[in-house]
Amino acid sequence: MKIGILALQGAFAEHEKMLDALGAEVFQIRQRSDLDRGFDGFVIPGGESTVQGKLLRELGMFDDLKDVIRNGLPVFGTCAGLLLLAKNIENDDREHLGLMNITAVRNAYGRQLGSFAVAAEFADIGEIPMTFIRAPYIKKAGRDVRILARVGGRIVAARQDNMLVTAFHPELTQSTAVHEYFLNMVRSVQSKALRDV
C-alpha cells in the first residue's frame, strides 16, 4: 500500500515512521510532479496551516490535490491538516482545501493549555493517548460527518467518507491505532475499487 505524505512543513517525519512500521510504502510529496506517482492514501501533517496552504498554492499543487481528494483518495489530516481540510474555520477568514463539512476553531485551547496530553475514547478503537499542540477543535460537524472522539465535550476526531481528521497528533504517541484505522480505510477503498472493475 502506497501512502504519500505532504512534506512541505511540519511533523511529517513522525507519520512516515509510524506508517513505515505498519508496513506501508511511504513517500514524501514535496512538489507538483510527486502527485503523479500513484498512491493509495495521503497524509496532511500537523504544522502551520497558513504556511502549508501558502506553499501548496505557490508550488502549484493546490488544485490537483483538491481534485484527487474530491475524487475519493483517502486522506488523513492531523491538526493543521484538519484545518486545511475544513470547509470553515471560525476564527480565520482563510479557506484552504475546504472539502470537509466541519467548522473548526483554530488555536482553540488558549495559551496556557497550548499543549497537553490526555487519554480518551476513539470510536471502534477504545481509549488511546492524544497529544495536542496548539490544536484546533471541531465546533460543528455537518451532515455525513461521523464524530470519532471528544475531549472535554469538544470534537477532536471525525470522518467524512474518505477524509479522516484528528485535532491531536497520534504520530507523537506510542499508539499506532489511528494510523491502523486510516490504513483500513485505504484498504476498504481499494477493495471497493476492485469490486467495481
Q: Which residues are catalytic?
A: 79, 169, 171
- How many Cα atoms are found within 13 Å in the side-chain-facing hemisphere of 6? 28
- Residues 28 and 92: their CA atoms lie apart, in Å, by 28
Total of residues contacting ligand GLN (CB under 6 A) = 12
CB of 165 to ligand GLN, least distance (A): 11
Nearer residue to ligand GLN within complex by CB, 134 or 187: 134
Nearer residue to ligand GLN within complex by CB, 55 or 189: 55
CB of 81 to ligand GLN, least distance (A): 7
- Residues 129 and 157: their CA atoms lie apart, in Å, by 13
Identify the three-state secondary structure at position 179.
helix
For position 106 contacting ligand GLN by CB under 6 A, the verdict is yes
For position 49 contacting ligand GLN by CB under 6 A, the verdict is yes
CB of 53 to ligand GLN, least distance (A): 9
Total residue length of the chain: 197
DSSP assigned state of 121? E
For position 83 contacting ligand GLN by CB under 6 A, the verdict is yes
Cell matching residue 103: 467548522
Sign of CA dihedral 181, 183, 188, 192: positive
Among 133, 165, 183, 186, binds ligand GLN (CB under 6 A): 133
For position 188 contacting ligand GLN by CB under 6 A, the verdict is no
8 A C-beta contact, residue 32 and residue 8 = no
Sign of CA dihedral 67, 71, 73, 79: positive
For position 134 contacting ligand GLN by CB under 6 A, the verdict is yes
For position 79 contacting ligand GLN by CB under 6 A, the verdict is yes
Among 48, 90, 161, 180, binds ligand GLN (CB under 6 A): 48
Dihedral-angle region of residue 23 (phi above 0 means left; psi in -120 to 50 means alpha; beta otherwise): left
For position 183 contacting ligand GLN by CB under 6 A, the verdict is no
Nearer residue to ligand GLN within complex by CB, 3 or 167: 167
* Residues forming the site for ligand GLN (CB under 6 A): 46-49, 79-80, 83, 106-107, 133-135
